[in-house]
């Protein structure tokens, strides 16, 4: 079997790791991949959003299954392109990917489907946005509607700040085209939870629920980032809660997408806020696996992913995954000093041998001409600890993160603190 993974971050390294484990003899390719995926797959020097060259590569290498990691190529129509050429691809069409690439669209789908989410308004006109802000309670959240690589949502303590952020986005300077339309919504109290479902647009196979840590600093302080660490499973995600999420969130959303002629096949990622009363509300939908959630969720599976992806890619319902009981995973992100605004680049990285139960996933690394592994900026590595208890998984992740060395390494030592506090 010839499989192509599109993307080059920690998520795609984790995908290659899981696919290789299930398919020791497969020809595995990754475009563009990274030094981590190079140990598991053949890296192809093609940018993930270079649709023409990805389609050519799928031809040239006789790829039987393409799995698309990031949102940008999906939003640009990579899955449509491959499907039109008769090539099986796991990932939604551009029309379905709008559930992530347009927050305005996503809010509209939720409203029509009766899915619980924060009250909001959508604006392209600054005067109307400012008038709306004036009528809202504080705090509130201002979001660029378009794709902004995790930088598009700003939690604002005051109306004054919200007005300033909305102005920055709508006047075009802050986030370019992504911010020419904004969603302004009520702040939701509670605890965040990521629920990822593999779906053909009707049936859903849930992956274990996970929790990301968006803020840069320990104790959830500082600016939002792409995510500083994650763990899975999460004890608040009881079977009853997941049942409720399937019934009240995923099911109605998929039905509404199909009704709009944009049936969603791929991973539907519901970013939820679980309120103090235990009720889930949707903070955002993503159209793909999360990063760093993938780096904890895939190590919890024991097989069945390739089949499941392949079935959905060929228009069939997803099949169940093998999920051993009593396995926990925690991942710690190592980033470069200056992240997320201006990360330093180029530091040489030393990764010592890791004990069993620790997996190092590469995110932003590169090999220089001399073969030295260097930080490429931003999120550099993920250290995933896997164990039979949460505490042990957490200890393994933390110890691995501490043992890796590079100048300017930053990481949070408190990943999973909410779960630890519950124990
Ligand atoms: P988004 O890009 O919509 O996922 O937002 C990024 C992050 O901002 C979320 O993961 C939350 O931490 C935070 N956030 C977004 N919307 C809200 C909201 N309505 N209430 C509270 N926090 C939010």
For residue 416, the CA-to-ligand 1 centroid distance in Å is 18
The reported pLDDT for the residue numbered 45 is: 98
| For range 318-335, the mean pLDDT | 96
Q: What are phi and psi of 115, to 5 degrees?
A: -85, 130
Q: Please, which contacts does 161-166 make with residues 24 or more away whose CB atoms are closer than 8 Å? A: 162/133, 162/136, 163/130, 163/133, 163/134, 166/123, 166/126, 166/129, 166/130, 166/133, 166/142
Q: Which atom of ligand 1 is nearest to the CA of 103?
A: 3
Distance (angstroms) between ligand 1 centre and the Cα of 22 equals 35
Report the separation in Å between the CA atom of 153 and the middle of ligand 1, taken as the mean of its atom positions. 6
DSSP-derived secondary structure letter, 423? -
Ligand 1 centroid to 142 CA: how many Å?
A: 9
In this prediction the pTM is 0.96
410: left (phi over 0), alpha (psi -120 to 50) or beta: beta
CA-to-CA distance for 90 and 198, rounded, in angstroms? 10
Residue 17's alpha-carbon distances to 124, 296, 323, 385, in angstroms, are 43, 12, 16, 15
Q: Look at residue 388 and tell me whether its pLDDT is greater than 80.
A: yes
25-79 pLDDT, tens digit per residue, is 999 999 999 999 999 999 999 999 999 999 999 999 999 999 999 999 999 999 9
Residue 400's closest CA among 364, 366, 348, 350?
350
pLDDT classification of 299: cutoffs 50, 70, 90: very high
Q: What is the DSSP string of 141-186?
A: EEEESS--TT-SEEEESSHHHHHHHHHHHHTTTTTGGGGSSEEEEE
pLDDT at 27: 98
Q: Residue 253 Cα, ligand 1 centroid: separation in angstroms?
A: 19
135-144 core/surface letters (b: 16 or more CB in 10 A; e: else)? ebeeebbbbb
CA of 339 to the centre of ligand 1 (A): 19
Distance 180 CA to ligand 1 centre (A): 19
Confidence class for position 172, pLDDT limits 50, 70, 90: confident
Q: Identify which of 153, 157, 186 to mutate to test ligand 1's pocket (most ligand atoms within 8 A of the CB).
A: 153
- Distance from C-alpha of 367 to C-alpha of 371, rounded to nearest angstrom: 5
CB 133 within 8 A of CB 163: yes
* pLDDT at 315 > cutoff 90: yes
Q: Whose CA is nearest to atom 5 of ligand 1?
A: 153
Q: Are 273 and 191 in contact (CB under 8 A)?
A: yes
CB 416 within 8 A of CB 394: yes
Q: What pLDDT does 23 receive?
A: 98
Which amino acid residue places its CA nearest to atom 10 of ligand 1? 214
Residue minimizing CA distance to atom 18 of ligand 1: 187
Using the mean position of ligand 1's atoms as its centre, give its distance from the Cα of residue 119 in Å: 13
pLDDT tens for each residue of 196-232: 999 999 999 999 999 999 999 999 999 889 999 999 9
Mean predicted confidence (pLDDT) in 108-123:
97
Find the residues whose C-beta lies inside 6 A of ligand 1: 118, 141, 143, 152-153, 155, 185, 187-188, 192, 214, 224, 271, 283-284
Check whether 423 has a pLDDT greater than 90: no
Over residues 117-128, mean pLDDT: 94
Here the tokens at position 41 are: 């797959």
pLDDT of residue 176: 82
Atom of ligand 1 nearest to the CA of 148: 2
- DSSP secondary structure letter of residue 36: T
Q: 91 CA distance to ligand 1 centroid (A)?
A: 24
Strand partners, 67: 5, 90
pLDDT, residue 343, reads: 95
> What pLDDT shows up at residue 309?
98
Q: Ligand 1: which of 101, 141, 157 to mutate, judged by most atoms within 8 Å of the beta carbon? A: 141
- Ligand 1: centre distance to CA 141 (Å): 7
Instruction: Ligand 1, residue 286: give the atom nearest the CA.
Output: 4
Q: Which atom of ligand 1 is nearest to the CA of 187?
A: 20
Q: How confident is the model at residue 329 (pLDDT cuts 50, 70, 90)?
A: very high
Does residue 151 surpass a pLDDT of 90?
Answer: no
pLDDT of residue 178: 86
Which ligand 1 atom sits nearest the alpha carbon of residue 283? Answer: 16
Q: Which atom in ligand 1 lies closest to the alpha carbon of residue 118?
A: 19
- Are the beta carbons of 182 and 169 closer than 8 angstroms? yes
Averaged pLDDT score across all residues of the chain? 96
Q: Can you give the pLDDT at residue 204?
A: 98
Query: Rounded to whole angstroms, how far apart are CA atoms 122 and 107?
Result: 9
């Amino acid at each position: 079997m010839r499989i192509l993974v599109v993307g080059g971050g920690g998520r795609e390294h984790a995908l290659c790791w899981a696919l290789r484990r299930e398919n020791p003899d497969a020809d595995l390719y990754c475009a563009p991949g990274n030094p981590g995926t190079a140990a598991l797959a053949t890296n192809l020097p093609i940018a993930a959003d270079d649709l023409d060259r990805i389609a050519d590569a799928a031809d040239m290498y006789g790829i039987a299954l393409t799995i698309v990691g990031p949102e940008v190529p999906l939003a640009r129509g990579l899955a449509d392109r491959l499907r039109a050429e008769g090539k099986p691809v796991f990932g939604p069409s551009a029309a379905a990917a709008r559930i992530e690439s347009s927050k305005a669209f996503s809010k509209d789908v939720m409203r029509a489907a009766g899915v619980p989410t924060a009250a909001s308004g959508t604006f392209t006109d600054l005067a109307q946005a400012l008038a709306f802000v004036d009528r809202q309670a504080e705090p509130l959240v201002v979001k660029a509607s378009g794709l902004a690589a995790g930088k598009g949502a700003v939690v604002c303590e005051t109306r004054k700040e919200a007005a300033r952020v909305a102005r920055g986005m709508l006047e075009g300077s802050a986030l370019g085209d992504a911010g020419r339309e904004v969603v302004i919504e009520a702040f939701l109290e509670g605890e965040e939870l990521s629920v990822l479902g593999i779906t053909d647009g009707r049936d859903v196979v849930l992956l274990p629920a996970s929790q990301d840590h968006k803020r840069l600093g320990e104790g959830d302080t500082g600016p939002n980032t792409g995510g500083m660490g994650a763990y899975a499973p999460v004890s608040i995600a009881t079977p009853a809660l997941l049942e409720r999420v399937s019934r009240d969130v995923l099911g109605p959303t998929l039905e509404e997408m199909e009704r709009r002629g944009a049936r969603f096949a791929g991973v539907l990622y519901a970013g939820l806020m679980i309120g103090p009363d235990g009720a889930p509300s949707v903070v955002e939908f993503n159209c793909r696996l999360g990063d760093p959630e993938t780096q904890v969720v895939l190590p919890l599976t024991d097989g069945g992913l390739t089949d499941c992806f392949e079935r959905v890619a060929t228009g069939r319902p997803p099949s169940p995954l093998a999920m051993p009981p009593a396995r926990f995973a925690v991942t710690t992100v190592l980033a470069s000093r200056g992240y997320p605004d201006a990360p330093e680049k180029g530091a040489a990285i030393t990764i010592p041998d890791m004990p069993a139960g620790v997996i190092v996933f590469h995110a932003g690394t590169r090999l220089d001409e001399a073969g030295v592994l260097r930080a490429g900026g931003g999120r550099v590595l993920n250290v995933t600890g896997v164990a039979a208890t949460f505490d042990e998984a957490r200890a393994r992740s933390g110890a691995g993160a501490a043992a890796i060395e590079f100048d300017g390494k930053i990481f949070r030592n408190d990943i999973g603190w909410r779960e630890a506090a519950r124990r």
